[in-house]
A and B are shown apart, each in its own frame.
Chain A
Amino acid sequence: MSVGNWITRVDHKHVGLFYILSALAFFLVGGMEAMALRAQLAMPNLKLLTPDQYNQIFTMHGTTMIFLVVTPVLIGFGIYLVPLMIGASEMVFPRLNALSFWLQLAGGLLLYLSFATGQAPAAGWFSYAPLSEKPFSPGKGSDYWAFALLLISAAMIIAAINLAVTVATARAPGMTMRRVPLFVWMTFVNSLMIVFALPVLDASLVMLLADRLLHARFFDAAHGGSPLLWQHYFWIFGHPQVYIMILPAFGMISEIIPVFSRNAIFGYTSAALSTVAIAFLSYGVWVHHMFAVALGTTFISVFAAASMLIAVPTGVKIFNWAATMLGGSLRLTTSMLFAVAFLLEFTIGGLSGVAFATVPVDWELTDTYFVVAHIHYVLFGGTIFALFAATYYWFPKMTGRMLDEKLGRLHFWLVVIGFNGTFFVHHILGLLGMPRRIYTYGDIPWWGPLNLISTVSAAVLVLGILLFCTNLVVSLQLGAVSGDDPWDAWTLEWAASSPPARNNFAEIPVVRSRRPLWDLKHPDAADWLLEETPVQGGD
């Protein structure tokens, strides 16, 4: 097949895989950047990197992981799975779908092209003004950063609109919104969040670029501009963005845990509605990133309370999953192991999040390694663990072959040990007062050994991830043939062949309950019989 043929494909399964594979590539790049940072921090007074290189690398690491890995890979899974799960043959706008991927990739390449100018962006992934303004970041790096993010946000908005419209209009007969899989629910809510949050980033980037390129004054305090405005705008986008990076992962876990617990999800409605609650609340909590700014006690108290409130709908979900496992009989596949570990790691990250919502605690710990621990427990321990679970779960559907379980278990334990070893000590370092974003540090009691533990564990984590990549490559060639439904699952994607044919389904499935495949396999005990009987009796 020619290259032209290959890049002009619009099939949602190809576009979804493009998204996933490009995110995997950037994940390895971002991971190498992280290792460079950890190597520099391994011992006191090391000088492997210059301060300026260090700034560039942590900026690129953060930007890469957030905008080129976590966000797009979740969108990619959505693009691959949503049409299959709702019984559709394709996304509603296939060509826009392909466009979104190529814009995303162009944004990523543009970001990395900044290295060629000799100065990659170095103002952190949230590019606070005035540091990101021309006088303090004279290189071209921040311009590349802003333009790349504009491209990526355009890609995200296009993909989000496409996903939302597909869920709203392309569902199979009988697939009501009360019956769609929870992954579809969460991707749908996520898409609406993207539609309303990303334009705020776009407005901020336009203002930053006006300042940098046209000598406008938005964030220029010397001429009456307001650096604080950047913080407000960035976090009005940034906090919903945090949930944009976790909601689809919640959806994945909501698919995986029931299947490996042999038990329908406990509290489907509350799981769906709590997602909506999180989406609404996420727009009212941005100031908790700014407690260290003197904004007035009453003002920040409101945001502290709102931030704590988010723990309620999130807690609802944890109970949904825990109760599903409690009532079921568990099958501890690698996928399920990652899903269970997700629950534990994410809960630790959630708890440190609630701690941060307490203003005095935040004042004590803001800008220390405690923040680094928190963000990695929710993003790695949360989303990346869910993505590993999702990969072991859906790889057979995407390729027709199983991932190797022996390698999978080894991968799992290396990642669990490596991840916790790397980031748990960051809590302690933060409490000991180690600030984030310093490129080296003096010989302060405990800092050296704890950082060394972190760096050595990071190497274990890298080993685990390399093992995962090996598993992907080897299993693609040699893995056991999976058949269409290796997990005895219940949602519609498992009714298609593995990998699914061009139009997904030979005939449009008719749906009568939340578990259409269960109904097909157990006509005598079909869910819709149970669902409909009480209603008839009630009449």
Chain B
Amino acid sequence: MRQAVYLGMTLFLATESVFFFMLLLAFVYFRQASHGAPDLPLHLAVISTASVLTSCFAMSRARAGKTASQARVWIGAAALFGLIFLLAQWRAYAVLLRDGVTISESLFGTSFFTLTGMHLMNVIAGVLLLAGLDRLAPGNLTALRAAAMFWYFLGAVWCVIFVVVYLGIRV
């Protein structure tokens, strides 16, 4: 059963990868096609990246936790840093909207908000999953590891977005 759960999660993440790849492709395509791009709040993206990496680290500690209560504390920490990521993103959206960058204002906005918005929704689902993990599957190491796979994956997608969207734009 353990093997089945990991394989199932792997296939689910394969589906997710293709989904994000297509949205990223649209973003890159429209960035090439459009003239110029707005200034993005890079400092908020750096905070987001730092909280994602910290959260993934906490998750790896949770996986390695010797007792259930230890694991619970680390999962809580991972969820907390996920929450910080969401706050930083919310702030970044607010800054962009204040500057007039919206989903309908330009193709940059269209593809930027769709890509990051879809990632954001996944992170919200991920935070809820981490928060409810102990209730859904108490003491279940397989479930914990599968949740960790999902969480690492979302972290990796963010890192790609950070590099391509936030850093790539300045090259």
> Which residue of the partner chain B has the closest CB to A164?
B11
Interface flags for A197-223 (1: CB within 8 Å of B; 0: not) read 011101110110010001111100001
User: From residue 7 to 52 of chain B, which have CB atoms closer than 8 A to chain A?
Assistant: 7-8, 11-12, 14-19, 22-23, 26, 29-30, 33-34
As a 0/1 sequence over residues 83 to 126 of chain A, the CB contacts with chain B under 8 angstroms (1 = contact) are 00000000011000000000000000000000000000000000
C-alpha spacing A207/B109, complex, angstroms? 13
> Which segment of A165-173, A264-272, A464-472 sits at the interface?
A165-173
Cross-chain contact A199 with B19 (CB below 8 angstroms): yes
Instruction: Verify B3–A215 contact, CB threshold 8 A.
Output: no
Q: Is the CB–CB distance between B7 and A168 below 8 Å?
A: yes
A203: chain B residues at CB < 8 Å are 18-19, 22-23, 26
The answer to whether B14 touches A196, judged by C-beta atoms less than 8 angstroms apart, is: yes
A25 touches B (CB below 8 Å): no
Interface assignment of A506: CB less than 8 Å from any CB of chain B: no
User: Is the Cβ of A223 less than 8 Å from the Cβ of B107?
Assistant: yes
Instruction: Say whether A229 faces chain B, with CB atoms less than 8 Å apart.
Output: yes
Q: Complex formed: what's the CA distance from A207 to B104 in Å?
A: 12
Chain B residues with Cβ under 8 A from A157's Cβ?
A: 12, 15
CA gap between A530 and B47 in the complex, in Å: 66
Contact B103 A210 (CB under 8 A): yes
A252 beta carbon closer than 8 Å to chain B: no
Please tell me if the beta carbons of A195 and B110 are within 8 angstroms of each other in the complex.
no
- Whether A327 sits at the interface, judged by CB under 8 Å, is no
What range describes how many residues of B lie at the interface?
Answer: 20 to 34
Q: A206-B23, A206-B114, A210-B114 are in contact. Are A217 and B104 (CB under 8 A)?
A: yes
Residues of A within 8 A of B109 (CB): 216
* Residues from chain B with Cβ under 8 Å of A210 in the complex: 103, 110, 113-114
Residues of B within 8 A of A319 (CB): none
* A165 and B8 contact, CB distance less than 8 A: yes
User: Interface size class for chain A?
Assistant: 35 or more
The complex places the Cα of A92 from the Cα of B1 at a distance, in Å, of: 8
Complex partner residue of A199 from B18, B103, B113, CB under 8 angstroms? B18
Given contacts A169-B4, A204-B22, A210-B113, list 14 more A-B pairs with CB under 8 A.
A164-B7, A199-B15, A199-B19, A200-B18, A200-B19, A200-B22, A203-B19, A206-B23, A207-B23, A214-B103, A217-B106, A218-B110, A225-B30, A233-B22
Residues of A within 8 A of B4 (CB): 92-93, 165-166, 168-170
Complex CA gap A452/B40 in Å reads 63
Q: Residues on A close to B: CB < 8 A?
A: 92-93, 157, 160-162, 164-166, 168-170, 192, 195-196, 198-200, 202-204, 206-207, 210, 214-218, 223-226, 229, 233, 236
B111 at the A interface (CB under 8 A) = yes
B1 CB contacts on chain A under 8 angstroms: 92
What distance in Å separates the Cβ of A14 from its nearest Cβ neighbour in chain B?
21
- B118 at the binding interface (Cβ < 8 Å): yes
Residues of A near B106 (CB, < 8 A) are 217, 223-224
Docked Cα-Cα span, A206 to B15, in Å, equals 15
The 3 closest A-B pairs by CB, nearest first: A203-B22, A199-B19, A215-B104
Return A59 CB to nearest CB of chain B, in Å: 24
Residues of B within 8 A of A164 (CB): 7, 11
